[in-house]
Chains A and B, each alone.
Chain A
Amino acid sequence: MRFIRNIAFDIRNGIIRHFMLFLLPALITGIASADCVRRINGYLETWGVKKSTVTYGDIWCYLYCGMEKFVPAPGNAFRFPAIWTILFSICSIVVLTYTTNDMLGTGAHVMVAGGSRGKWWFSKVIWNVLSTIMYHGITLIVSLIVCIFSGIRIGNGINVGLQTSLNEIADMNSTFKTVSVITPVIFIMPVIISVAMNLLQQMLTLFISPGYAFICTGVLMMASVYILSPLLPFNYAMALRMSEMYEGGVKHMYGILCAVLIITLSVTVGYIRFLRYDIIKKEDI
């Protein structure tokens, strides 16, 4: 069995047959974007600002900005960003169980037919990357559709006043200081980090059950929201934590390096582990 057929099998079984899972990002983004447009209209009405100052970048920022640096203080309780968290959590859930289920089901026959464990593993890696890109692609398309239908201009600008209101930003002096546009690197970083974290989660499912692997992802997500640190990868997936937007934020170069390291480590460790993995062992939680 050729490698390309392994990939075709995974696309067919992991994406096409589970297309309902990919309706989730469409639903979430549809609701969140519509809410964003409603709030934008409220802002424009209240402050008498022209609609031409608002662009698609503002809706994108509402979805992917995350939250500014958390400073623990009385009156400033820790709360995670609702939209950002649901987008990334659901993305992790969408790609969580297919590998394990396939390994314990028909995937074992595919592995035997392919004659190689490596082909099976790398095919799952490609499926994971494709699924994650598709997930964020759907988010992008749905938010663009909402943007077009609501008459908001397509562009990468950020209305600083609007974002301060939408995301309840307290520290205006250090946020949006350097740029007020979504640069390509800010735009692409959430997807890169999402790919890296989903591969890490896939690798973890070879050691622990998917439920615990998801807990690990959740803990990393919350730790990243709580602490602004270049060592916590989800920081790079929050636009408001990037050095381009926030003085003292994380640098995208470190983010790319971090993602490459996580991807390399996950794929290599996963491959080595999978070569010795007992695929007939009993399912355990």
Chain B
Amino acid sequence: MWFVRRLLRIEIGKALKNKAFFISLAIGIACVVLSLIYEVNIYNRDMDMAAETSGMKQSSEAAIYSLFNSWIGGEFLSLGTGVYYFIFPVLCALPYGWSYCVERKSGYVRTMIVQCGKGKYYVAKYIATFMSGGLAMVIPLIASVMMTAAFFPAVKPDVIYDIYTGVFKTTFMSGLYYSVPFLYLFLLLCINFVFCGLLACCSMAAVSVIRQKHVVTLVPFVICLALNMLTSVMYNENNYHNVEYSPFYFLKSCASRVPSSGLVIGIITLVLFVVTFVTVNVWERRHEVY
């Protein structure tokens, strides 16, 4: 047990103390700043206009703007949010998704397996990759919440302004969003963490078929593109698109295209977990590394 903890500490240290992790965070935070600038500009412009027309210092429309629909995961209009939620699969895999591929090619895996055994090595690697992917996504989001809170009040969103929040009756956890928004925010960040951690693990699992580190880094992005296309070609019995399958959209609080569903998110997450865990901890473990 002591050895597993030490191995895990080493792997997590490698995952979180590398250049690629900090570059991913820097790109994410740049998107967050871009989104914040847009939101603050719009807020100031609208407040000035309202003050001019009504002659009041504070407009009644101020309630439209809250922390919960102005942070990068809650707003749906800026370039920052568009870019961030498009490149996030790459940002999740860049810090450590490629590591197993490199270690396998260089022979480092063999050395580690001799020292600690296959099972412990693969579990530690899986956990470290998961952590790096999840944190690469969530840290810029937490930064966004903190930075946005410096400009916008954390007023409870009002359901009559649903067109401004993008959270409608059919949206996943909409009841929680309008009743306990901080809990909603926390749960959404948890979903982002788990989903993006698993996306990073997809890179690791892909090593069983792809041996190029730059290609395995892009595997999560290709998976997300495929799921995004799925939304466009899946219909319900009334011939409408009614559920969001795309992580580009369902990881946000607002419904940009069609409402997201907890069941769909749960199933996709479960499938990703089963596929990556089995591939890494069963398939790869049973294969010869020499």
On whether A218 and B212 interact (CB within 8 A), knowing A93-B218, A285-B98, the answer reads no
Which residues 189-248 in A have Cβ within 8 Å of B in the complex?
209-212, 214-215, 218-219, 221-223, 225-227
B229 and A31 contacting across the interface, CB-CB below 8 Å = yes
On whether A74 and B164 interact (CB within 8 A), knowing A79-B257, A218-B86, the answer reads yes
Which residues 42-90 in B have Cβ within 8 Å of A in the complex?
76-79, 81-83, 86-87, 90
Return the CB mask of A3-41 against B: 1 if under 8 Å, else 0: 000000000000000000000000010011001000000
Determine the residue in chain B with the shortest Cβ distance to A28: B229
On whether A218 and B233 interact (CB within 8 A), knowing A72-B77, A78-B256, A100-B214, the answer reads no
Residues of B within 8 A of A83 (CB): 229, 232
Residue among A31, A32, A222 with most chain B CB within 10 A: A222
**Interface residues contributed by chain B, number (CB under 8 Å):** 45
A77 and B214 contacting across the interface, CB-CB below 8 Å = no
Residues of B within 8 A of A210 (CB): 214
Determine the residue in chain A with the shortest Cβ distance to B19: A285
Partner of A223, one of B83, B228, B233, B256: B83
Of the A-B pairs whose beta carbons lie under 8 Å apart in the complex, a sample of 26, sorted by A's number, is A28-B229, A32-B232, A35-B232, A72-B78, A74-B163, A83-B232, A90-B225, A93-B221, A97-B212, A211-B93, A211-B94, A211-B214, A211-B217, A212-B94, A214-B90, A215-B90, A219-B83, A219-B87, A221-B86, A222-B79, A222-B82, A222-B86, A225-B82, A226-B79, A227-B79, A283-B102
Q: A79-B256, A100-B214 are in contact. List 20 more A-B contacts (CB 8 A).
A: A31-B233, A32-B229, A35-B233, A74-B164, A75-B163, A78-B256, A79-B249, A80-B248, A83-B229, A86-B225, A86-B226, A93-B218, A96-B214, A97-B214, A215-B87, A218-B90, A221-B86, A223-B83, A285-B19, A285-B94
Residues on B lying within 8 angstroms of A by beta carbon are 19-20, 23, 27, 76-79, 81-83, 86-87, 90-91, 93-94, 98, 102, 163-164, 166, 212-215, 217-218, 221-222, 225-226, 228-229, 231-233, 239, 246, 248-249, 254-257
